[in-house]
Structure 1
């Protein structure tokens, strides 16, 4: 699955995009803890998620991008065989 982040330049926009694309529940809130819980235990994630055009988000939200990179690394350790990658 590919998720295009070309228009994403805020943390709130990132979380809204993930909620829509990955079918998170209505109660999902825009936080990194909620994102982690959703991808680990709430929704059935595709085997591979590729985030494309992420550079604008990284430039606009460097701290959040750092958190996302750590989540990606932790995700692959937690769920071998599944991946989230920056493409």
Structure 2
């Protein structure tokens, strides 16, 4: 599965995209802790999730991009063979 991050320039927007496209629970909010819980224990994740056109998000939200990179690294270690990648 590929998620296009074109036009995503805020933490709220990226979490809304994740909620809509990955089928997260209604209670899901814009939090990296909620994202982690959802991807490892709640949502049925695809075998591979690729995030494309992420550079604009990284430019507008460098702190959150750093967190997302760490989440991707941790997810790939803990949930193998499932994985996430920046494309």
TM-score range, shorter chain: over 0.9
Q: TM-score, normalised by structure 1?
A: 0.99
Residue 57 of structure 1, CA deviation:
0.2
Q: Residue 65 of structure 1 aligns with which residue?
A: 65
Residue 7 of structure 1, CA deviation:
1.1
Structure 1 residue runs of 5 or longer lacking an equivalent are none
Q: How many residues align?
A: 87
Structure 2 residue runs of 5 or longer lacking an equivalent are none
1:40 aligns with 2:40: yes
Q: Residue 74 of structure 1 aligns with which residue?
A: 74
Q: TM-score, normalised by structure 2?
A: 0.99
User: Any residues of structure 2 matched to 1:11-26 within 5 Å, and which?
Assistant: 11-26=11-26
2: distance between equivalents of 1:81 and 1:37? Answer: 18
Say which SS state the counterpart of residue 3 (structure 2) adopts: strand
